[in-house]
Amino acid sequence: MPLLSRRRAMTRGASLLGLSSLSGCAGETLLQPDLDADVRSLPVIRARTDRIDRITVCLRPFRAAGPRLDVEQVERKTVVHNYGHGGSGWSLSWGSAKLAVERALPVSSRNIGVIGCGAIGLTTAIVAQQAGAQVTIYAEALPPFVRSARASGSWTPSSRIARKDAVTPEFATRWESMARYSFSCYQNLQGLPGHPVEWDTFYGLHSREPSAPHTDPIGFASLDDRIQDIEPQGNLIRINNSRLPYSEVHKKPNLIFNVTGYADYLLRQFLERGGRIKILTLHHPSDLTALPEPVFINCTGYGARALWSDNTIVPIRGQIAWLIPQPEALCSMSFGNVYVVSRRDGIVIQWMGTDMGFGYDNTDEKPDLTEARRGVSIINGLYRNMGYNI
């Protein structure tokens, strides 16, 4: 297959997983000769169904037009919205927080209320503190009992973030600034005790088994080309050894979030800076009038659908089967529609379905054991075909 069409094929697979495109960073993706030695370094994940320690389900808060960031008046209170980040909430959080806080500061730079304590609420609260505000978070639930805690934990800034036909040039520019700002924040969080944020290696394994092309019935926007210059692109490695179950590997550095430790780090940062947390459930926007702050930033994620009667939010169900952590085998990989992130706090095994519409408009948050086993078995088969007895 010529390089260009090969690259396109791999790019389709990568965007299905919400990974950045493969085309080169200020240049070309390198097509290398067979580098068996390189591929033998593939960490061994003990993908066995008896190592599943839990199954979690989360609903991505998807909006065709992208996250909501406009400002609204609720009686005497000003509300800046910051919700609807689809499959990109962790990735875009700092940049989105910056935009939301900039909109809240003209109303009050002293007292800001943040509603919600997931990826978006926590980062928004910290950015508001950095701007000098006294911040109170109001939330029904805190980590680990928020949907953000059930994410794969990868840098996926354009995963299910908007629909192609609804993206405006203004949104694309805003998305780019959010992604660039967030990425720079993540570089400043490297090397912390416990490694809440770190780089691992991603292996995109291209199966030798023929598979149906991945379709995208929803028409998700793909914006990654705009930020190609900020992340390492890696190499495309051709595998000549026909006994291996994959014919090509896209190997690249991958930014990941160890979500358990990272959320704990953010909570501590917020509290150490004098932040306050009040547990409460808002039933209607007018409930805000009983709270003291003049301005609130609404970071309620999928909860905004009910609270703000916002039917533009469409749930996209995603399930993870978690395997017992293997600190000796930290890496990410994709193979046969399964996405794996071997993190310090658990191994994510996510079966991505047969097309990109998988989970769209599905509100079912019950774990599906069959789906969980399917993903784990595919990765089990990969290692067995490589000769491992895992």
Ligand X SMILES: Cc1cc2nc3c(=O)[nH]c(=O)nc-3n(C[C@H](O)[C@H](O)[C@H](O)COP(=O)(O)OP(=O)(O)OC[C@H]3O[C@@H](n4cnc5c(N)ncnc54)[C@H](O)[C@@H]3O)c2cc1C
Q: How far is the CB of 47 from ligand X (least distance, A)?
A: 18
- Give the C-alpha distances (Å, rounded to integers) separating 370 from 58, 367, 376: 17, 9, 10
Q: Which residues of 262-274 are buried (b: 16+ CB within 10 A; e: fewer)?
A: bbebbbebbeeee
Interface residue with ligand X, options 29, 156, 158, 380 (CB under 6 A): 156
Structural tokens at position 245 = 């179950």
Rule CB under 6 A: which of 28-87 touch ligand X? 58, 60-61, 83, 85-87
Is the omega angle on the peptide bond into residue 144 within 30 degrees of 0, that is, cis? yes
Q: Which residues contact 149 (CB under 8 A, 6 or more apart)?
A: 118, 143, 259, 260, 263
Q: How far is the CB of 80 from ligand X (least distance, A)?
A: 14
For the four alpha carbons of 271, 275, 280 and 285, in that order, the dihedral sign comes to negative
Which of left, alpha, beta for 361 (phi over 0: left; psi -120 to 50: alpha)?
Answer: left
> Counting contacts by CB under 6 A, is residue 154 touching ligand X?
yes
Q: How far is the CB of 208 from ligand X (least distance, A)?
A: 27
Interface residue with ligand X, options 19, 79, 146, 266 (CB under 6 A): 146
Q: What does the per-residue mask of binding to ligand X show for 308-347, with x meaning CB under 6 A? A: ----------x-x---------------------------
Q: Which residues contact 389 (CB under 8 A, 6 or more apart)?
A: none
Interface residue with ligand X, options 72, 140, 176, 345 (CB under 6 A): 140
Candidate segments 70-78, 115-123, 184-192, 268-276, binder of ligand X by CB under 6 A: 115-123
Candidate segments 137-145, 236-244, 270-278, 330-338, binder of ligand X by CB under 6 A: 137-145
Q: How far is the CB of 159 from ligand X (least distance, A)?
A: 6
The length of the chain, given as a count of residues? 390
> Counting contacts by CB under 6 A, is residue 116 touching ligand X?
yes
Interface residue with ligand X, options 133, 139, 179, 236 (CB under 6 A): 139
57 bridge partner residues: 319
Candidate segments 72-80, 143-151, 166-174, 186-194, binder of ligand X by CB under 6 A: 143-151
> Counting contacts by CB under 6 A, is residue 121 touching ligand X?
yes
Sheet holding 276-279, edge to edge: 71-74, 77-81, 295-298, 111-115, 134-139, 276-279
Q: How far is the CB of 365 from ligand X (least distance, A)?
A: 10
Contacting residues toward ligand X, per CB under 6 A: 58, 60-61, 83, 85-91, 115-121, 139-141, 146-148, 151-154, 156, 281-282, 299-303, 307, 318, 320
